[in-house]
A and B are shown apart, each in its own frame.
Chain A
């Protein structure tokens, strides 16, 4: 039998990230194709109780390492536990969500296991036992088809691209505790400081309302926050507005910011320069609101409205409220 598929189920607090369910769903598909089992690796604090939930997304087994030292992502502790898990189950494939933790961890594992990583994959397919990964490069201008030539094959999966789906008959996974012997480490993870109120991350949001230079100043983002709140989305920003100091860099969508793929991206007062475009062009539907009818964004937005964002956005918020009240 082929080695199992091992999936890093990253958590945030006492919950798993949506991107982890997406990776588990994809891992389940690959495991079925290979005729093997899926293992989920759950590392955190207070997760033992909820880890069996991973069976809903297809995990046959859950390896859990739990303890106060593991509450926050510690690159060296997590790396050791992931290597312990891999040693235990000899996976043929390791999948991680392409979150900050997954992207930090995967290359470390590859070095220790003498293999390679396909980063930020948007599609995986198996040809026999060969894992072919499709991943964007040049900020999404090109799609590369790549193959990892070591074992295990390691891939990180771009959030919001793969669909998280519960399996028809939920698994009742066995729960194996991974012993954690705190390794020598010169690293001390002091604390996590949240940016403002806790909200969904841009890369995981299904609706993003983004503002650019046309917003005119930091206070005007309130109208975007209002629209995002009504739609259960989050607010993003263009480079121009981040460089102006109106929004934090963590909100920036584009080449030197985040690459996002929400279901709906509403660009407000954003011209749509290539720098921005490469970060959001994989959104399912793009809406553009801009007073300049010549703005490049109208060349690729699915639905464009020419006009003043300060009139149109509040009107859209009211209309959306009505829509959701009826729905």
Chain B
């Protein structure tokens, strides 16, 4: 499965290509089984793929960012799109890190992106509103939800995806900076408690919030 934020990024890339020309390359760092994700991305409109294949690459932001940046230094591009974060580790770091390593501008949490003549206008979703930022290209952007609404791939596109070129390489290895020492489940919440039905229960709710939970 493609990480949901990357789906928005990919769709934005494909829409830019459809509007302005050029081509879309997907770059993936992952094990053999990521091939499924690559095929899906190719079916969704990417033209070609680079697979940095490793079965046990450290799942750590700086190592991932450095490996991606090392590869991207050999590739020409105008626009680099990321999901704002992975929904597994929730680190929200890699996009900015890659851009800093490549020394290109990076705008994070982008909900709207407009491109013209090597300039871009990005709307970044921040607390209470949007920050509207212009920047020259090449530049990196990390996708917020709904940057571009993902399409569905047709069966024909899924078949065609198998013919698109995939370059497979080994990623460069870097020392991880963030070490996971332990994982645990968060303490469970106590089971729910229904205190009543209808408006009659409202005074009791206020009383409990005040006297028992002490939150008002």
List chain B residues, Cβ under 8 A from A298: 192, 194
Whether, in the assembled complex, B177 has its beta carbon less than 8 Å from a beta carbon of chain A, the answer is: yes
Q: Which residues of the other chain, B, contact A257 by a CB distance below 8 angstroms?
A: 145
The count of chain B contact residues (Cβ–Cβ below 8 Å) is: 76
B70 to chain A, nearest CB (A): 13
| A252 near B202: Cβ-Cβ < 8 Å | no
Q: Judge if A89 is at the interface, Cβ distance under 8 Å.
A: no
Whether the pair A189, B133 counts as a contact (CB closer than 8 A) is: yes
A100, B126: Cβ atoms under 8 Å? Answer: yes
- Answer yes or no: B12 CB below 8 A from chain A CBs: no
Contacts of A17 in B (CB 8 A): 127
Cβ contacts A190-207/B at 8 Å (1 or 0 each):
111111001101011000
A274 to chain B, nearest CB (A): 12
Interchain nearest-CB distance for A296 vs B (Å)? 9
Q: Is B76 an interface residue (CB 8 A)?
A: no
Encoded as 1 (CB less than 8 Å from any B CB) or 0, chain A from 130 to 171 comes to 001001111111111111111000000000000000000000
Q: Mark B40-62, 1 if CB is under 8 A from A, else 0.
A: 00000000000000000000111
CB distance from A2 to the nearest CB of B (A): 19
- Taken residue by residue from 68 to 93, chain B's Cβ proximity to chain A (1 for < 8 Å, 0 otherwise) reads as 00000000000000000001111111
Listed stretches B22-30, B102-110, B165-173; interface member: B102-110
From B105, B180, B192, A187 is in contact (CB under 8 Å) with B105
The interface stretch among B13-21, B134-142, B150-158 is B134-142
Are B62 and A111 neighbours in the complex by a CB distance under 8 Å?
Answer: yes
A319 interfacial contact with B, CB 8 Å: yes
Is A255's beta carbon under 8 Å from chain B? yes
Q: Is the CB of A187 within 8 A of B176?
A: no
Given contacts A148-B178, A186-B139, A203-B127, contact A249 B145 (CB under 8 A): yes
B137 to chain A, nearest CB (A): 8
Minimal Cβ-Cβ distance residue in B for A284: B215
Distance A28 CA – B105 CA, assembled complex (angstroms): 34
Please classify how large the interface on chain A is, using the bins under 10, 10 to 19, 20 to 34, 35 or more.
35 or more
| Residues in chain A near residue B100, CB distance under 8 A | 79, 107-108, 111-112
B159 contacts the other chain (Cβ, under 8 Å)? no
B37 on the A face (CB < 8 A) = no
How far does the alpha carbon of A73 sit from the alpha carbon of B125 in the complex, in Å? 12
Q: Say yes or no: B209 contacts A201, CB within 8 Å.
A: no
User: Main SS of chain A's interface residues?
Assistant: mixed
Interface-lining segment among A47-55, A56-64, A303-311: A303-311
Does the CB pair B208–A106 fall under 8 Å? no
At the interface, yes or no: A181 with Cβ under 8 Å from chain B?
no
B1 at the interface (CB under 8 A from A): no
Note all chain A residues with C-beta closer than 8 A to B111: 249
B145–A252 contact, CB under 8 A? Answer: yes
Q: Are A150 and B90 also in contact (CB < 8 A) when A73-B126, A303-B209, A316-B202 are?
A: no
| A144 lies within 8 A of B183 (CB) | yes
Kindly list the 9 A-B residue pairs having the minimum CB-CB distance in the complex, ordered from nearest: A116-B177, A186-B136, A107-B93, A201-B127, A304-B194, A194-B129, A116-B178, A100-B126, A307-B198
Q: Could you list 15 examples of A-B contacts with CB < 8 Å?
A: A107-B65, A116-B62, A116-B177, A138-B89, A143-B183, A148-B179, A187-B135, A250-B129, A263-B215, A281-B189, A298-B194, A302-B193, A305-B197, A305-B201, A312-B202
Having A140-B186, A187-B134, A256-B5, one finds 17 other A-B pairs with CB under 8 Å, namely A107-B92, A108-B100, A112-B100, A116-B176, A117-B93, A141-B185, A149-B177, A189-B131, A190-B121, A190-B134, A193-B129, A194-B129, A204-B127, A263-B215, A303-B193, A312-B198, A319-B206
